[in-house]
Amino acid sequence: MVKIVGIGGSLRPESYSQQALNLAALRVEALGVQVEVLDLREMNLPFCNGEDEYPDYPDVERLRNAVKQADGLILATPEYHGSLSGVLKNALDLMSFEQLSDKVAGLISVLGGQSNSNALNDLRVIMRWVHGWVIPEQIAIGQVGKAFGPDGKLLDEKVSERFDQFAQSLVENTRKLRSAA
């Protein structure tokens, strides 16, 4: 069975990034794929200092193992100062080619202002650098404070359709790469 790991790049208690990630995970699971969501708010990760081992931080090994065993990734981040969040960048820096190479990745960003692709472009560069494969479908939700209803559902049907297309592309491309390997 195909396995996808989702990582949310926000530490906010009421994180829109996590909300978008959880929604994407549900759409992917509905396509018959196993999804594990890693919530960085619940993990104790050190700042990356370039070392190979972090014996005082078992969550580093947990993160690395989950990603290594996955076929694909969903990376969700708020956009801060025109780029991805430091917490997501740090989590990615704690991993290496061993965990990230040949992973198919779907990218999501949320913004308080107008939608753009800065954080998504930066994530594409990072994933390309570690030999990952990023799907062309991506999600950037601008004005995110107005995007979700009180029940957690998306208010805009077009954005909801993008989540369906995103999930379909992630699953199809992950299966293709997995069968080619």
Residue from 133, 1, 5, 7 nearest 70 by CA: 5
Backbone angles phi, psi at 140, to 5 degrees: -125, 115
The reported pLDDT for the residue numbered 178 is 87
> DSSP letters along 42-89, please?
G---PPP-S-S--TT-HHHHHHHHHHHH-SEEEEEEE-BTTB--HHHH
Cβ contacts of 102 within 8 Å, gap of 6 or more? 131, 132, 133, 177, 181
Per-residue pLDDT of the chain (181 residues; tens, 9 = 90+): 999 999 999 999 999 999 999 999 999 999 999 999 999 999 999 999 999 999 999 999 999 999 999 999 999 999 999 999 999 999 999 999 999 999 999 999 999 988 788 999 999 999 999 999 999 999 999 999 999 998 889 999 999 999 999 999 999 999 999 888 7
Domain that holds residue 109: 3-180
What's the CA gap between 52 and 20, in Å, rounded? 31
Cα-based distances in Å from 151 to 27, 40, 154, 174:
17, 23, 9, 30
pLDDT at 116: 81
Q: What is the DSSP string of 100-114?
A: HTT-EEEEEEE-SSS
Cβ neighbours, 10 Å, residue 46: 13
- Domain total for the chain? 1
Please report, for the domain that includes residue 25, its CATH number: 3.40.50.360
